[in-house]
Amino acid sequence: MQPTQISKGIYDVGVQDWNIRDFHGYSTPTGTTYNAFLIVDEKIALIDTVKKDFSDQLIKNISAIIPPEKIDYVISNHTEMDHTGSLPVIMNCIGEHKPLYCSKMGKKNLALHYRNKWNYHAVENGEELNLGKHQLTFLEARMLHWPDSMLTYEKSEKILFSSDAFGQHYAGYDKFDDQVDLDELLHHSKKYFANIILLFAGQVKKLLKTVNDMGLTINMICPDHGMIWRKNPGVIIDAYDKWSDQATIKKAVLVYDTMWQSTEKMAEQISAGIASEGVSVRPMSLRTNHRSDIMTELMDAKALVVGSPTLNNNVYPTISDFLTYMKGLRPQNKLAACFGSYGWNGASIKILNNEMKSMNFQMIDESGLKIHYVPDEDGLKKCYEYGQSIGKAICQS
Ligand code: FEO
């Protein structure tokens, strides 16, 4: 795809990765993009690069605007390899003596990744770089989402090059927020937040405060993934502010897997019981829902209800997978309850309880609900009533 001019003298020279379907555990059904930005002025700067596999396309995109060797500065906002994998090719092409701007941690982390003696320039927070008409300011954004993360603000056009923040794993021929459906874009943004940014919600608040304290006007946000926020930068800033509060609504997400449909029957009745109390409920079988879509649904839910049959004195493997993934993201402010069927040992409930408590979920009921083998009429009624008690607890919290 050809580079896109996003503003006077500023181009997106990034690439689409149409075929990626798993981004370290996160499902990417439309693929993603690795955005990189070229600023052509008296001095020429490249902000970020792309995944290694696409370095030829990056060079081609830059070459459509200027000969790549004319680049004076490379700016690396973040070390993760989807944005630096092409640095060796770029530095080799433009000359390894050219300054490579990054944060102090970026300098350390780039050296650990590429074992190269590039001409690093580790910036101070707030340091500026003058390109001519365009002046860049570097803003430290430690742990948003790596220790090396920083953002670059361009003063004349008021553009924030935001690295991973405000992005989406969303590939398309369009490049701007006003060219796609806003609800769909916000859904992808929410999924990205739920699966990448959630753990760093505190750092989001800090960044928004810094932007506010510095009085920075933002006309456009250029993330390193997905669409550029040209028309609605305020929409995604407000969404990040709201999402980082981790506020919840009257909603339950019910996650489960099943061996012989007993736990599934329980899930159906528990869901119905929760709904009967006027609470939105989203049953999500791990057979048909990806862990990253569950995290997206869970973001504003007041309660998580987890169901697992007992298998070999343990929980079902898909449940372990989900709990491990969720634990890393540390969702806050949630109630929880557990259930499951069993044969000769109902160990899954105790394991689920302990797991949820270790993640600071507030248990609605520590004993959970277990059913021996296949639920009969009475068992199904107990499940419905258990759902009602969960619904009531949500309404009272
Ligand atoms: Fe898109 Fe943290 O890399």
**For residue 116, what pLDDT is reported?**
85
pLDDT category of residue 173 using cuts at 50, 70 and 90: confident
Contact 292, 25 (CB under 8 A): yes
What is the Å distance from ligand 1's center to 31 Cα?
Answer: 14
Beta carbon of 51 within 6 Å of any ligand 1 atom: no
Contact 270, 386 (CB under 8 A): yes
What's the whole-number mean pLDDT along residues 23-28? 96
**For residue 160, what pLDDT is reported?**
98
Beta carbon of 17 within 6 Å of any ligand 1 atom: no
pLDDT > 80? residue 98 = yes
What's the whole-number mean pLDDT along residues 1-7? 88
Catalytic residues: 24, 78, 80, 82, 145, 164, 192, 225
pLDDT category of residue 8 using cuts at 50, 70 and 90: very high
What DSSP state is assigned to residue 124?
A: P
Distances (CA, A) of 60 to 9, 77, 96, 97: 18, 22, 19, 22
What is the Å distance from ligand 1's center to 164 Cα?
Answer: 5
Which DSSP string do the residues of 128-162 spell out, in sequence order? EEE-SS-EEEEEE-TTSSSTT-EEEEETTTTEEEE
What's the whole-number mean pLDDT along residues 249-253? 98
Beta carbon of 78 within 6 Å of any ligand 1 atom: yes
Locate 27 and state its tokens.
């499902």
C-alpha closest to that of 387 among 343, 333, 322, 339:
339
Say how many C-beta atoms besides its own lie within 10 A of residue 217's C-beta: 10
Contact 335, 302 (CB under 8 A): yes
Q: What is the rounded CA–CA span in Å between residue 383 and residue 120?
A: 61
Report the C-alpha dihedral over residues 373, 379, 382, 383, rounded to 10 degrees: 60
Q: What is the rounded CA–CA span in Å between residue 200 and residue 186?
A: 19
User: Whose alpha carbon is nearest atom 1 of ligand 1?
Assistant: 164
Instruction: Judge if pTM exceeds 0.85.
Output: yes
Q: What is the rounded CA–CA span in Å between residue 163 and residue 303?
A: 32
Say how many C-beta atoms besides its own lie within 10 A of residue 385's C-beta: 15
Give 365's contacts (C-beta < 8 A, 6+ positions apart).
337, 386, 389, 390
224 CA: nearest ligand 1 atom: 1
Locate 178 and state its tokens.
């006003």
pLDDT category of residue 35 using cuts at 50, 70 and 90: very high
What's the whole-number mean pLDDT along residues 55-62? 98
Q: Which of 148-152, 209-213, 275-279, 306-310 has the lowest mean pLDDT?
A: 209-213
* The one-letter amino acid at 283: P
pLDDT > 80? residue 288 = yes
**For residue 99, what pLDDT is reported?**
98
Q: Is the peptide bond before 372 cis (omega within 30 degrees of 0)?
A: no
User: Whose alpha carbon is nearest atom 2 of ligand 1?
Assistant: 80
User: Whose alpha carbon is nearest atom 3 of ligand 1?
Assistant: 80
pLDDT tens digit sequence for 187-218: 999 999 999 999 999 999 999 999 999 999 99
**For residue 16, what pLDDT is reported?**
96
**For residue 117, what pLDDT is reported?**
85
Beta carbon of 257 within 6 Å of any ligand 1 atom: no
What is the Å distance from ligand 1's center to 144 Cα?
Answer: 10
Q: What is the rounded CA–CA span in Å between residue 147 and residue 194?
A: 19
Locate 195 and state its tokens.
């699966």
pLDDT tens digit sequence for 76-95: 999 999 999 999 999 999 99
**For residue 331, what pLDDT is reported?**
97
Give 162's contacts (C-beta < 8 A, 6+ positions apart).
151, 221, 222, 223, 224
Q: What is the rounded CA–CA span in Å between residue 131 and residue 385?
A: 67
Mean pLDDT, the chain, whole residue set:
97
Beta carbon of 80 within 6 Å of any ligand 1 atom: yes
What's the whole-number mean pLDDT along residues 127-145? 96
Locate 303 and state its tokens.
């309660």
| Pairing mode of beta strands 10-12, 4-7 | antiparallel
pLDDT > 80? residue 1 = no
Identify each DSSP E strand in 257-395 by its residue range: 280-285, 301-307, 335-342, 362-363, 369-372
**For residue 2, what pLDDT is reported?**
79
pLDDT tens digit sequence for 112-133: 999 988 999 999 999 999 999 9
